[in-house]
Structure 1
Amino acid sequence: MARSLLVLSGGHPYEEVPFSELLDSLKGWDVRYLIHPEAEIAVAEGAADAADAILLYDMPGYAFADGKVTSRPPSDGFKAAIRRYFESDKGAVMMHHALAGWADWPDWAEMIGGRFLYQPGEVRGREVRDSGYRHDVRYTAEICGDHPVTHGLPDTFELTDELYLAEIFEDDVEPLIRARHDFVAENFYSAAHAVAGRMFDNTGWDHPPGSNLVAWTKSIGDARLVYLQFGDGPETYRNPHVRQLLRNALDHVANGRSEPRETKEPTG
């Protein structure tokens, strides 16, 4: 019997047909696909209640216009529905730009285990710079340790994808995969500059060095959450290792709470 998967997207551009092909590769799941802003309303009305897992490939709560960005929190109904869902011990997988979603709801960043910022702001009581991005980075992904999400994958694999220099709450998550890449300002571009129309620019942007963690898992109460930074476009959607990770991650979050597992130090 197929399990029920609720997929949320919208709020950030992506190529819909290749992404749908990625979803079609998820055998054994009955997929319901919602796009913001309708997705927020549907979840508030109970769309997530019957799902066995949720896949978030969305970036809600923003408006970009005239070189500026404004943000807002989700509705109280959406917040209540998300909390109710996790309290039912069912989990979620979040991909790529979902790290930036709901910037005005601090609890959301705590649930995910990090936050990507489009403008300078406050995270956990301290002022931080806007986050960084870099498209088409070819890098080596390195598995951190034995875990169901990474079963069947080689210890390292190559891919080309977008990377983020963002706020990652490493002390609160269980590492799954690290990127062999230097996460320093000169290797990324400022998100705030991009919003202002200055794409691929890091002039005057002094973001401190950040985490090379690109996949992790954590618990929300007795529910499981997995974040996968992979997912910028069709090349990544087609990558067999990314597809295996997504299948594993959905199985993992649909099956209850994670137990701590031994990790190994990255080699580079």
Structure 2
Amino acid sequence: MARSLLVLSGGHPYEAGPFAELLASLGDWEVTHLVHPEGGEADAAGAITAADALLFYDMAGYVFAEGKVTTRPPSSAFREAVTARFASGRGAVAMHHALAGWAQWPEWHDWLGGQFHYQPGSHGPDSGYRHDVTYEARIIADHPVTRGLPTSFPVTDELYLCPVDENAITPLVRAEGFAFTQDNFYSAAQAVAGAMFSREGWEHPPGSNCVAWESRTCPAPLIYLQFGDGPATYANPYVRQMLRQALDYTSGGTTP
């Protein structure tokens, strides 16, 4: 009998066809795909409770309009469903822009161990992004998510310059061959204001080059994979293998 996989997306554009091909490559899963805001939050609470595996590929809680961004917290039903799932020891996988989702849900980012910020605030500056970076993904931990992978493999993807609390995570993969410094990234706040690929007047401290990790603060297995901006990454066989193994691990199919 096929295991159930709930996928949550929306809030950030992506190419639906190639993403569906990625999901189809993951093995014998019965997939339910809900999209914010129409179904991703309103219909998700029961599905979050029932699913064997859970994949967050969403960036919910934002409205971008007229060069400005507004945020909101998740509904109490959605928040309670995720919290209860984790409290019961049942985990999840979060990919790519999920690191930015739910800016007004601090516990979500405490669990994840990091957060991409679209605006400066008490946390510090807005975060940085850089598309189509070719780098070497180096495995740095023997873990169910990384087993069977080569020591390193090439990836072309978007990278983030944002806060990552390495005391709250177990690093699994680091990006080598690319410096995580402000001169290599662009300002998210400038992009929101309409100035894509700008770093004018923007300052950001050097950041972590960790691009895959397991949370050490979540009560259930929670894996974050920064991979996933578009079709080139979806099709990368090693990224697919990591995602398959992460879903298996966080749904109880493998042990540490």
TM-score by length of 2: 0.96
| Aligned mate of 2:162, from 152, 157, 166 | 166
| Structure 2 counterpart of 1:141 | 137
Give the aligned residue type for 2:116.
Answer: F
| Structure 1 counterpart of 2:54 | 54
User: CA 1:95–1:221 in 2, change beyond 3 Å: closer, same or farther?
Assistant: closer
Does the Cα contact within 8 Å between 2:248 and 2:254 map onto a contact in 1? no
Does the Cα contact within 8 Å between 1:73 and 1:104 map onto a contact in 2? yes
Percent identity over paired residues: 61
Does the Cα contact within 8 Å between 2:168 and 2:216 map onto a contact in 1? no
Query: SS at the partner of 2:41?
Result: helix
| Aligned mate of 1:237, from 230, 234, 237 | 234
User: CA 1:249–1:6 in 2, change beyond 3 Å: closer, same or farther?
Assistant: same
Find the aligned partners of 1:257 and 1:131 in 2 and give their Cα distance: 34
Unaligned runs of 5+ in 1: 260-268
Matched, 1:42 2:39: no
- How many angstroms does 1:165 deviate by? 0.1
- How many angstroms does 1:221 deviate by? 5.0
Matched, 1:196 2:193: yes
Number of aligned positions between the proteins: 254
Does the Cα contact within 8 Å between 1:218 and 1:258 map onto a contact in 2? no
- How many angstroms does 1:257 deviate by? 9.5
Runs of 4+ in 1 over 2 A off after TM superposition: 219-222, 256-259
Query: SS at the partner of 2:103?
Result: coil
Does the Cα contact within 8 Å between 1:90 and 1:254 map onto a contact in 2? yes
User: CA 1:30–1:257 in 2, change beyond 3 Å: closer, same or farther?
Assistant: closer
Matches within 5 A, 1:173-252: 173-180=169-176, 181-219=178-216, 222-252=219-249
Give the aligned residue type for 1:64.
Answer: F
Give the aligned residue type for 2:152.
Answer: T
Unaligned runs of 5+ in 2: none
| Structure 2 counterpart of 1:129 | 125
- How many angstroms does 1:220 deviate by? 5.3
Does the Cα contact within 8 Å between 1:89 and 1:257 map onto a contact in 2? no
RMSD over aligned Cα atoms: 1.3
- How many angstroms does 1:88 deviate by? 2.1
